[in-house]
């Protein structure tokens, strides 16, 4: 299942999920889809993007980052809008606005402390996050770990809408300035 993954949308959630997925031993090939460039003038950059990555292709930048982690996984970039079904591999939709035309197995959204994994056969909506709450690396890192566990445990085989309140999982998140490492205490 995780040997060939198509990751659609390489923004905050998709790019961080890619950097976590690349470390999964079962992964042999990853396809990255995004037609956007990194934003200029962000006040706070979220890994893997930085002030040095302004106005560059998200997928090309992410490909370079992923190659630092491994040389054994085939990385294929698609600098285009995906509008057709992908049938060869496991498709994860991390775009802000989801649609059913690509036939993704799961759709992932993160709005601050709320992680939503839609594994329904017919998605409820095209957009699950309204992004009222800002991005916090502690939540993004935890969300990526939850998604990987979700995939490894094959929870997508039980079609449902999974909602994780990350505040209930993290107790008193703290940020360590040096190295931008998230330190957290588990319940």
Tell me how far apart the alpha carbons of residues 64 and 105 are, in angstroms, rounded to a whole number: 26
What number of other Cβ atoms are within 10 A of residue 74's Cβ? 11
| 120-173 confidence digits (pLDDT tens) | 887 665 555 555 455 677 888 899 999 999 999 999 999 999 999 888 887 544
**What is the predicted pLDDT for the residue at 135?**
67
What number of other Cβ atoms are within 10 A of residue 21's Cβ? 23
Nearest to 164 by CA among 126, 112, 100: 112
pLDDT above 90 covers a percentage of the chain that reads: 43
pLDDT at 111 over 60: yes
What domains sit in the chain, N to C, each tagged with a CATH number? 4-186 (3.40.50.720)
Strands 170-176 and 181-186 turn out to be antiparallel
**What is the predicted pLDDT for the residue at 169?**
81
**Band of pLDDT at residue 113, cut at 50, 70 and 90:** confident
Q: What is the mean pLDDT of residues 26-33?
A: 96
100: which 2 tokens? 């059913």
Q: Which residues pair with 181 in a beta bridge?
A: 176
**What is the predicted pLDDT for the residue at 52?**
56
Q: What's the pTM value of the predicted model, to 2 decimals? A: 0.81
């Amino acid at each position: 299942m995780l040997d060939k993954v198509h990751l659609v949308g390489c923004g905050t959630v998709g790019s961080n999920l890619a950097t976590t997925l690349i470390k999964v031993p079962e992964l042999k090939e990853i396809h990255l889809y995004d037609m956007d460039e990194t934003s200029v003038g962000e006040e706070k950059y979220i890994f893997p993007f930085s002030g040095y990555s302004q106005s560059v292709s998200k997928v090309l930048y992410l490909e370079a980052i992923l190659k630092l982690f491994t040389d054994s996984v085939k990385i294929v970039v698609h600098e285009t809008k995906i509008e057709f079904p992908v049938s060869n591999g496991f498709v994860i939709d991390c775009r802000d606005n989801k649609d059913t035309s690509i036939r993704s197995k799961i759709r992932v959204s993160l709005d601050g402390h709320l992680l939503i994994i839609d594994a329904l056969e017919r998605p409820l909506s095209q957009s699950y996050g309204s992004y009222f709450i800002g991005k916090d690396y502690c939540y993004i890192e935890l969300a990526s770990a939850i998604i990987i566990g979700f995939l490894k445990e094959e929870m997508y085989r039980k079609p449902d809408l999974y909602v994780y309140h990350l505040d209930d999982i993290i107790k008193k998140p703290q940020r360590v300035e040096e190295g931008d490492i998230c330190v957290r205490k588990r319940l």
